[in-house]
Structure 1
């Protein structure tokens, strides 16, 4: 596993995919429900707040070089207590992966293939993730070097095509209900966009050629991914208005249906759907890979590929029962997920950074 190396450009591409992930299609409606016409400001706050998470990740990269997140946990908290935290982190990874697959299945069966059972779609995408990981992380990273240009071009082009339908009055009045709704929207966005960055520590810097250059690529990928997400939220409100955006499940998909240039360029919403599926698969692969490697390190398994298939079957089954329906999923995303994601994506890294300084202080005091 340690012989795998990821280039800086591949880090950039994977970070863009992880930053967008399920957020482009899934979370826009919930944010609009909280911040209304100020949703785009919530995204700006999220981008700024994300630099705290980036600093935490880079701090751990610098002070625990060559280690994955699970190895850092066990080194900081000790073998036994660290193993308990690792098990909780693995649960977070596998449950989140099942949610990602559910999102794909629900989207396809509700928007395109209405008579197809969701478990069929879930099975296809579970198999896609399993096959991708059997080919290996390097193959995945190389493919996303190509995908990132395709999805960026198609998504930006779609947003440009829909701009003629934009109305600036949909953004007014600014801060109508004050700062609190904007911060709530930013917190929700952070749980989907920022907190999952902790998964990157399962790959970098242990498999990066140069830690400093990897950090620069990470930041660039975050900024570009944040720009794409900011664009999708801003244009959704400009074109559809905050009320419609909040009341439909997939506003960016509906947004793309508004494209009509001279009755030639129409029905381009599945370009957006394709972009979303590629990026959400990135997040699904990251969650699965993080849980896979973490489990292999926990049980001291040398070849992690031996457990890919059984874990894939477990995730497939979980994806069918993780959410009973879309109403439950919406409530979970708004009320539970931000705290669940923050526990592992923000609080745990902060505690680990504090633990480093505490250990350093105890060591220096004992030495003195």
Structure 2
């Protein structure tokens, strides 16, 4: 029963997120035009700078920046937590906490290597991002799946003797 509710919530959340994303992209294109939208790194932030309702409602970009920072932080924390738990599961360690400091330091230095400047992000996105995303989105889940299967086979084999 919980799986059905979870699946339904997942699909509803995905639908709502997709609708919001489509609306924001449409607003960006309608306000800034297709050329400016394509050239901007953060078109929603640029669009928020243009909002001026009766010289009263202005400077909305601060709200956009706050939301952007909060969501980036939340996403980073979630990715980091998943990475730490995956590594602890791969090495069959019950407590993931011993890995947090080491992987945190690795993450900080890795980020400095990958993105030394803001302009390097475009180069990274063109040439490296696909392999990086495949590692975390395909290889790590497959490694977890294979590890779980081997553990089950090992438990069945040694449990029957």
TM-score class normalised by the smaller sequence: 0.7 to 0.9
1:349 Cα deviation from its structure 2 partner: 7.4
**In 2, Cα distance between the equivalents of 1:346 and 1:292?**
16
Structure-2 change in CA distance of 1:291 and 1:342 (3 Å): closer
Please give the secondary structure, in 2, of the residue aligned with 1:276: helix
- Change beyond 3 A, Cα 1:231–1:330: same
Q: Per-residue CA shift, 1:80-137, capped at 9, x if unaligned?
A: xxxxxxxxxxxxxxxxxxxxxxxxxxxxxxxxxxxxxxxxxxxxxxxxxxxxxxxxxx
Name 2:102's counterpart in structure 1: 310
- Give 1:229 shift: 1.6
Unaligned runs of 5+ in 2: 146-161
Shift of 1:273: 1.2
May I ask how many residue pairs the two structures share in their alignment? Answer: 144
Match of 2:69 in 1: 277
> What is the Cα-based RMSD across aligned positions, in Å?
2.6
Matched, 1:231 2:23: yes
Shift of 1:317: 2.0
User: CA separation of 1:292/1:328 partners in 2, compared to 1, >3 Å: closer, same or farther?
Assistant: same
Whose Rg is larger? 2
CA–CA separation in structure 1 for the residues paired with 2:86 and 2:140: 16
Equivalences for 1:1-368 in 2 at 5 Å?
A: 210-338=2-130, 340-342=132-134, 345=137
Structure 1 residues 310 and 347, CA gap change in structure 2 (3 angstroms): closer
**What TM-score, normalized to structure 1?**
0.36
Q: Structure 1 unaligned segments of length 5 or more: list them.
A: 1-208, 353-368
TM-score (norm 2): 0.76
What secondary structure does 2:128 align onto? Answer: helix
**CA pair 312-340 structure 1, distance change in 2 beyond 3 A:** closer
Which moved further from structure 2: 331-340 or 299-308?
331-340
Distance 1:304 1:349 in 2: 17
User: Structure 1 CA distance, aligned partners of 2:117 and 2:56?
Assistant: 37
Cα separation, 2, equivalents of 1:288 and 1:212: 28
